[in-house]
Every structure is written in structure tokens, then in C-alpha cells.
Chains A and B, each alone.
Chain A
Amino acid sequence: EPEVTQTPSHQVTQMGQEVILRCVPISNHLYFYWYRQILGQKVEFLVSFYNNEISEKSEIFDDQFSVERPDGSNFTLKIRSTKLEDSAMYFCASSGQNSGNTIYFGEGSWLTVV
């Protein structure tokens, strides 16, 4: 079964450093998302991306965050200057008309900011 893949699985970074989390959504999917889950808390929506632009973003997704689809397969989340409170599991997800609105998630990238 096709799956969303994410790299790295775990990254430790110093506060203030830039981080790029990478995702390969399911082929032929058109909608892409980033969510995050702080340890022990709910999964929170960050941003959705469709037709090469952001379609919706949450209040968490401030100017420190950006997303890109640099080519036909990758979807990245960049955090410009990490803060301690950015430590979380970041999930990439995708969906498409062929998935009947089912949103498929990757295994996540653990980000630890020290």
C-alpha cells in the first residue's frame, strides 16, 4: 500500500537553528498537510497545501514556519529559528480525490530543540 514517508525520523537541534523536515506524499495525491504533536498532547494542524500554495494555516504556523514543494515529489516544512517549544513530533500527511478524502499520515519526525 502506498505510504507517506518522512525524513529524518529524529533530529536534535540547537535553539535558534534552522530545521527542514522532508516528506514524500503519496503519489497522485493533491493535498498536503503538516501537523504536530507535542509529547502527551493532541495532534494539531499546522498547514495545508494545495495547487502549489497554502490553502489554510493555523495560528501556530507563524512567520518562523514555511512550506515548499520544490519538485513533483517532495514537500518540506522549514522552521527558521527553532525554539524550545518547537520540540514535537511533526507529521506530514496527504490526501487526494482517489483516496476519498482519507488523509494518510507519515511516521513522523521527532524534533528535539535543546
Chain B
Amino acid sequence: SQQGEEDPQALSIQEGENATMNCSYKTSINNLQWYRQNSGRGLVHLILIRSNEREKHSGRLRVTLDTSKKSSSLLITASRAADTASYFCATGFGNEKLTFGTGTRLTIIP
């Protein structure tokens, strides 16, 4: 079994709709980070949520963390075509290595 599994694997929505992606993990963490990756490009950091936090906002992004269920969700509100990308959750401990999930490929239909 793998640390960090996102679902759905792929999601297509109309521009303007909200997109929700989920991430589950298996081991203890002290932070969870979400990244975006445009095709063939680098990983762009979106948001970090610590294990003692339940919800965090950044612009159109809202991240929740439920440590009892070992799960997190990323909500993108009012989606735009430029949000088309793959989204990954990654779990970690302090400055130690990150363990990445398999990613959700999000397509925003104009």
C-alpha cells in the first residue's frame, strides 16, 4: 500500500465550477503539502497544512486535514482554464523527505 493516494485520478469540470480532490495517507505526519504540476513542468507549492490545523485558505484554495481519518482535501473554487494541471499531495515530517501521492489530473473545460 502507498502513502498518499489521491482521488479521483482524473477530474474534468466546466470552468467556473468548484473542483475537489482528496488525499489519503497511512503513516503519522506533521505536515501535508499540496503541489501543482503543469505538464512536463516543475512542482509549484500551493499550500502547507500542519497536523494541528484543520483547515487553511489561500486565495481560491481551501485545504482541510482530518488526522483521525488520515485524509486531506483540496478545493479549488471558481475554477479557471489555467487551473488545468496535475495536483499532488505530499506528506512529511518537518524538513524530512516528502512522500508524494499519485496525483489527480484536473482538466478545466472552457
Say which residue of B45, B90, B97, B100 sits within 8 Å of A48 (CB atoms).
B97
Contact with B98, one of A45, A50, A97 (Cβ below 8 angstroms): A45
Interface: B87 (CB within 8 A): no
Of A97, A101, A102, A106, most buried by chain B (CB within 10 Å of CB) is A101
Mark out the residues of chain B between 56 and 110 whose CB falls within 8 Å of any chain A CB in the assembled complex. 88, 90, 92, 94-103
A56 to B92, CA, bound (A): 13
Pick from A30, A101, A105, A110: contact of B43, CB below 8 A: A105
* B33 on interface, CB distance cutoff 8 Å: yes
* A31 at the B interface (CB under 8 A): yes
Q: How large is the interface on A (under 10, 10 to 19, 20 to 34, 35 or more residues)?
A: 20 to 34
* A45 and B42 contacting across the interface, CB-CB below 8 Å: no
Chain A 67-107 against B: per-residue CB contact (8 Å), 1 yes, 0 no?
00000000000000000000001010101110011111111
**Other-chain contact of A102, B48, B100, B101, B103 (Cβ < 8 Å):** B48
Given A45-B97, A48-B96, are A103 and B42 also a contact pair (CB < 8 Å)? no
Given A42-B100, A43-B88, A43-B100, also A101-B95 (CB < 8 A): yes
**Which residues on B sit within 8 Å (CB–CB) of A48?**
96-97
Interface residues on B, range: 20 to 34
CA A42 – CA B23 in complex, angstroms? 14
Contacts of A25 in B (CB 8 A): none
Q: How far does the alpha carbon of A104 sit from the alpha carbon of B48 in the complex, in Å?
A: 11
Interface residues of B in 39-53 (CB under 8 A from A): 40-45, 48
What 10 A-B pairs come out closest when comparing CB atoms?
A107-B42, A105-B43, A43-B100, A45-B97, A31-B95, A108-B42, A95-B95, A102-B48, A42-B100, A105-B42
Residues of A within 8 A of B (CB): 30-31, 33, 35, 42-45, 48, 50, 55-56, 58, 89, 91, 93, 95-97, 100-108, 110
- List 5 additional contacts besides A35-B100, A101-B48; criterion CB under 8 Å: A91-B42, A103-B33, A103-B45, A103-B95, A110-B40
7 CB contacts below 8 A, A to B, read A30-B95, A43-B43, A58-B97, A101-B92, A101-B95, A102-B48, A103-B95
